[in-house]
Amino acid sequence: MTRTQKTALGIATLVFISFASANAQDLAGRWSGRMEPKNLSAELEVDLARTGTSWSAGITFRAGPDGGVLPIEELRVEGDGVFVRTRIEGADVSLQLSLDDALLLGSVRVTEGGRVLAEGPVGLARVSDAKAKERLRRWLDGQGSPIDAAQRGLVIERAVELMLANYAFADRAAQAAADVRERAKRGEYDSAATAARLAELVGRHLAEATSDRHVQVKFGATRTPDP
């Protein structure tokens, strides 16, 4: 394995090259999707490039107000399988994927200090394949903790109420609450079929409306560890 370092727009990223067997499937290209373990939903985009038997990768993520380029600490491409190890805010993140009907499906495991913070499904589809992206959405909808329209409404309203009651700046809280309620009226949250995905979307919009990346939404009756 060799390592090169690239710098772009002032951000240093690491690109690792892994050697695979000659019969590896053609997995090269840009893939996008989500990882959705319980209480954690994040958008992922993975670029896989192959030169001969060598592979390189780049990965970005977005979860609520957070996002950016992730370091590739380990990459293995073997046959129709891909293993990627990266880090998010100090936590070790491992993605194990395999090709299934033009989708890369598998699992993600998030650990820190030997403690498992989250684990669950992850799936990617080629960015250029609209039909595959729709199949991926249906697959992800069936993996996470389901949430119906009534629950969505309750969660959205409760998040807004907590924002209005506790946020330090009343004017920003009111603006954020109005923004989320308007989005709900327009049906922007109707496609959030899992609790983790709804929390990620609402948290993202509250953070954008307040210009405060510390605002996040977690779904559940008790506070959960932050990956």
153 and 193 share one domain? yes
Split into its structural domains, the chain has a count of: 2
Round to whole Å and give the CA distance between 76 and 18: 6
Round to whole Å and give the CA distance between 2 and 51: 13
Q: Within a domain: residue 56?
A: yes
Q: Within a domain: residue 221?
A: no
> Which of 119, 141, 163 is a domain's end point?
141
Reduce the DSSP state of residue 216 to 3 states and report it: coil
- Tell me the per-residue pLDDT of 109-122, one tens digit each, with 9 for 90 and over: 999 988 998 899 99
> What pLDDT is attached to residue 223?
58
Round to whole Å and give the CA distance between 162 and 180: 13
Round to whole Å and give the CA distance between 7 and 69: 12
> What pLDDT is attached to residue 65?
79
163 and 136 share one domain? no
Q: Within a domain: residue 48?
A: yes
Q: Within a domain: residue 204?
A: yes
125 and 21 share one domain? yes
128 and 153 share one domain? no
Query: If you write DSSP's letter for every residue of 134-162 in order, what string do you get?
Result: HHHHHHHHTTS-B--HHHHHHHHHHHHHH
Angle at which helices 170-185 and 149-166 cross, to 10°? 170
Closest-CA residue to 107 (of 115, 96, 99, 118)? 96
Q: Write down the pTM of the prediction.
A: 0.73
Q: Within a domain: residue 184?
A: yes
- Tell me the per-residue pLDDT of 162-217, one tens digit each, with 9 for 90 and over: 999 999 999 999 999 999 999 999 999 998 888 888 888 898 899 889 988 888 88
> Which of 141, 162, 179 is a domain's end point?
141
Q: What is the mean pLDDT of the chain?
A: 84
Backbone angles phi, psi at 76, to 5 degrees: -135, 130
pLDDT beyond 90 at 131: yes
Q: Within a domain: residue 182?
A: yes
> The domain that contains 58 carries what CATH number?
2.40.128.120
20 and 109 share one domain? yes
> What pLDDT is attached to residue 23?
42
Reduce the DSSP state of residue 46 to 3 states and report it: strand
Q: Angle at Cα 43 formed by Cα 103 and Cα 53, nearest 5°?
A: 50
> Which residues form the domain of 204?
149-210
164 and 127 share one domain? no
**Which residues on adjacent β-strands are paired with residue 105?**
98, 123
80 and 42 share one domain? yes
Closest-CA residue to 36 (of 129, 111, 112, 110)? 110
173 and 113 share one domain? no
